[in-house]
Amino acid sequence: MEKQKTDTRRPAYGMASNCAFMIRRAWQGSKGVLSVAAGIVLCGVTASLLELFVVPAILTALENGAGPWELVSMIACFTLGMVAVRALWGYLDTNALFGRVLVRSRLCLDLHMTFCRTSFPHIEDPDYIKWMGKASKCLDSNSDAGEAIWNTMVELLTNVISFVIYLLLLSQVGPWVALLCAALSTASYFAGEPIRAWRYRRRDEEAALLHKADYAVFRSRDMKLAKDIRIFGIGPWLTELYGKYVRLMQDFFAKAFRHDMWADLLDTALALLRNGAAYGLLIAMALRGELNAAQFVLYFTAVSGFSQWVTGIFKQLAQLHRQSMELSTLREFQEIPEMFRFSDGEPLPVKEDHLYELELRDVSFRYPGAQNDTLSHVDLIIHPGEKLAVVGKNGAGKTTLIKLLCGLYDPTQGQVLLDGKDIRQYDRRDYYEHFSAVFQQFSVLAGTIAENVAQVPAEKVDLPRMWDCLERAGVADKIRRLPQKEATHLGRNVYLDGVELSGGQMQRLMLARALYKDAPVVVLDEPTAALDPIAESDLYQKYSDLTGDRTSVYISHRLASTRFCDRVLLIEDGGIAEEGTHEELLKAGGRYAYLFDIQSKYYSQSADDLLPRPQDAGAGKEGVEDE
């Protein structure tokens, strides 16, 4: 098994800072968490004091010749007090959960927003993703640092207050008892802690094992894999993988259990030594007549309690240290400097006609860690309203080029300009507002069709505009036939009544979404990849209507699909190899003409499969994939 590296990074925020951070977060949104925590501390200290004083108080009353009625009322008072404190404690403990979950949920939300809004190159950076994984780890469940830290802080405070009270009490017997207990409890803690910390030091190894086992389980439930699992018989392979990681996890937990057991044994041995010595001292004092019965019982109980507080303080501090490190990871993740300017950037100039000129000036781009530039010294001006096609073989750099245009990457060298100004100076989110796109991967959420097209909650959707876009994208008929029309949920991951659309229908829906946004620049990256030939040719014919007077960039590896564009760029060897209209490029007889020739031969050979047969005549524009 691969060896996991131990995290040796020094956290940027210490324990005090992280506790203050959590308190601030609670103060901002869920003040109840703080008052409930204070209440729990008060209950904890009161309960321990009541337990400590109950027997000595009764003994003192007995020694002072108290009557039965006085004794009964005293015991009743203690019992009632104890019941009331315990009941309040339990009530507060249960209620503490709601506020704490709320604080953790808000932290989760912040983390997701950070991820959704960060500069795009971050999300392709493996270090950033790894950091994100570690940061979110502290918010995964009730027992992770982002919530469990409240328990630690409450217990630490309870231990510290009780420690001070017991210290004052025991110092009345003499400094030796308190000193002995404190010294041996400290020794016990420091002897056991390195053994107990074994599992914590290997938390990355544990997380990796869990992740791998989970991976096998989740993949077996993945709907996208369901067909392949059956056809290729992947099931036993996944089961074997799961079994392998479960066995490794069992070994890991057995080792962790052995370490905990040794630590507990050491703890018990030192506790015996500590309590034995302290009790011996108290017995000697009692025998010498220096303590009466009530005092003996009081100090006897206080000795074990005192050791418990000392050990508790160390344990909680160690726990707080670990939780604080995790919270520091979370806070540091959220403070990773952005590559792009956002709210500190300039707003984009607003133009009534929405016509902007885009330019790549001497642009080179190399992916992080790559040996060569994907694009090298590219110069390109896209005129306002121009319909540009970008063609080239797979891997030529077409998608990279549009990602640079859309501002998802910054060039490694050179500039991307909007109306002559470097886009780096603008608020990048403002810049994105000017783009509408259909990318190759479909990005639908488990919401209604209307919400997915408009990207706003259902009640805010402009329905006439949405239907117009569905119509133009050629998917309106299909949506109208659904039982709940535009209110139908997409996907069955969340909604049982959700529908699964075909690849082609989904691609049209993505087109409708791009149209709904009505941005000045439309980018279409292989928008016909999932369409059948009839639907594809339908889209080419309607392309001008679809994009209107907007600037558009159309990417395709199908050269024939560029005829309807004003200009075609052929991308090869990291640059623009040829450019012109489709006819000009054919006439020039260069690479474009050569590639077009090869493609048209291939398509004409398979034309029988591609062209509509007589019985298909009149088939709807949804074509084959709809039926």
Strand pairing report for 435-438 and 521-525:
parallel
Of 120, 114, 113, 112, the C-alpha closest to 406 is 120
82 CB burial (10 A radius; 0-12, 13-18, 19+):
middle
Which listed residue (395, 420, 483, 618) binds ligand ADP by CB under 6 A? 395
The site map against ligand ADP for 397-416 (x = CB under 6 A) is xxxx----------------
394, 441, 443, 615: residue in contact with ligand ADP (rule CB under 6 A) = 394
**Closest distance to ligand ADP from the beta carbon of 440 (Å):** 8
Q: Using CA of residue 85, residue 90, residue 94, residue 96, what is the dihedral sign? A: positive
**Neighbour count for residue 198 (Cβ, 10 Å):** 15
Closest approach, Cβ 400 to ligand ADP, in A, equals: 3
Whichever of 230 and 393 has its CB closer to ligand ADP, that residue is 393
Give me the helix-helix angle, 68-117 and 145-170, nearest 10°: 150
The residue within the footprint of ligand ADP, chosen from 184, 396, 438, 519 (CB under 6 A), is 396
- Quote the least distance from Cβ 443 to ligand ADP, whole Å: 17
Contact residues for 24 (Cβ-Cβ < 8 A; gap 6+): none
The distance of closest approach from Cβ of residue 374 to ligand ADP in the complex, given in angstroms and rounded to an integer, is 4
Owner of token pair 């200009």: 567
Which span (141-149, 191-199, 387-395, 474-482) binds ligand ADP, by CB under 6 A?
387-395
According to the binding rule CB under 6 A, does residue 374 interact with ligand ADP? yes
> Tokens 């501390």 belong to which residue?
41
**Distance (Å, whole) CA 373 – CA 616:** 47
> Rounded to whole angstroms, what are the CA distances from 303 to 31, 181, 263, 347, 561?
37, 7, 22, 68, 87
441 near ligand ADP, rule: CB under 6 A? no
Using CB under 6 A as the binding rule, whether residue 528 contacts ligand ADP is answered as no
Should residue 372 be labelled a site residue for ligand ADP when binding is judged by CB under 6 A? no
CB of residue 424 to ligand ADP, shortest distance in Å: 20
Q: Choose among 144, 153, 146: nearest CA to 38.
A: 153
The sign one gets for the Cα dihedral 286, 292, 293, 298 is negative
Q: Is the sign of the CA dihedral 602, 605, 607, 608 positive or negative?
A: negative
Q: Which stretch binds ligand ADP (CB under 6 A): 230-238, 254-262, 273-281, 390-398?
A: 390-398
Q: Is 392 in the site for ligand ADP (CB under 6 A)?
A: yes
Q: Is 367 in the site for ligand ADP (CB under 6 A)?
A: yes
315 belongs to the binding site for ligand ADP (CB under 6 A): no
Beta carbon nearer to ligand ADP, 127 or 140: 127
Q: Which of residues 556-595 bind ligand ADP (CB under 6 A)?
A: none
Q: Which helix (H) or strand (E) holds 418?
A: strand 413-418
Residues whose CB falls within 8 Å of the CB of residue 610, separated by 6 or more in sequence, listed in order: 533, 603
The site string for ligand ADP over 122-141 (x = CB under 6 A, - otherwise) reads --x-----------------
Count of residues interacting with ligand ADP (CB under 6 A): 12
Q: Give the interface with ligand ADP as residue ranges (CB under 6 A).
A: 124, 367, 370, 374, 392, 394-400
